[in-house]
Amino acid sequence: MAGIITAPGGLKRAKFERIGLFFCLAVLAACSEGLVSPGSKDVDDLDTFLRYGAPGGEAQLEIHGNPFGVSSEELASGLAEGFKGGVFWGPDLRFSGNSSSARPGYRFVVAFGAASSVAGDKLCRAAATLALTPKARPIRVKIAYCVMDRALSEVSGQIEDADGPRDSRFGIWAWRLMRALTPKPDSKWETTN
C-alpha cells in the first residue's frame, strides 16, 4: 500500500509530484506546438497601419526560405491558412503571396531559418540577402510587418516537429505567431507559450 509522505512543514510530497508532472506536461505541449517569442512593436496604432496597408482586407505575404521542400505556392497557402484569424487587434485579414489590393511596401515578411538576432528592419530592407538555413531543425522563423524599409512589429519562433505547411501543429504555430505579431493597442507584449 502506497502511503503519503509528508515533507517538513506539513506539505505533502504527492502534491509536489502532481505539480511537477503538470509542469512537465505543459512544457511538452508547448514544444509540440512550437515556441513563440514575445513580440515587439514600434507603434501603438498598428491596427491603423494594417487597415491602411490592406484596404481590401488582403495583406501581402513575402516568404523567404522553405523548410519543407514543397512548392512556394503550397508553403504560402499553408502559412496564409495558419495566419487566418490570428490578427489579435485590427482588421480580419486574408494573406496572399501576390496580393493585387495591398498597398505597395505594406507587407508581412517571413524568413524561415533566419537567426534570431536579425532585426525586423533588416528583414524589411534586405530579407532576400540574408543567409538562411530553412532546412535546419528546429524550424526557426522571424516575421516582421513592414512599411517600406521599417518594421512596425516583429516576432520570432521555432517548432520542432511539423511535417509540412498543412500539418495542424504548423497551422497552430502560425496562428500564435500572428497573434504575437499583432497585439491589442497599448497592451504589454507577452509570450504566447
CA dihedral 161, 163, 164, 169 (to 10 degrees): -50
145 lies in a domain?
Answer: yes
**Domain, as residue range, for 80:** 36-181
4 lies in a domain?
Answer: no
For residues 105 and 132, is the Cβ–Cβ distance under 8 A? no
7 lies in a domain?
Answer: no
40 lies in a domain?
Answer: yes
153 lies in a domain?
Answer: yes
- pLDDT band at 30; cut points 50, 70, 90: very low
Scan for cell 526557426, then name that residue.
140
Asked if pLDDT for residue 153 goes beyond 50, the answer is yes
187 lies in a domain?
Answer: no
What pLDDT is recorded for position 186? 58
What's the number of domains the chain is made of? 1
Q: What is the pLDDT of residues 65-111, one digit of tens each?
A: 999 999 999 999 999 999 998 887 678 899 998 888 899 999 999 99
188 lies in a domain?
Answer: no
Say which residue, 37 or 68, is predicted with more confidence: 68
| pTM of the complete model beyond 0.85 | no
22 lies in a domain?
Answer: no
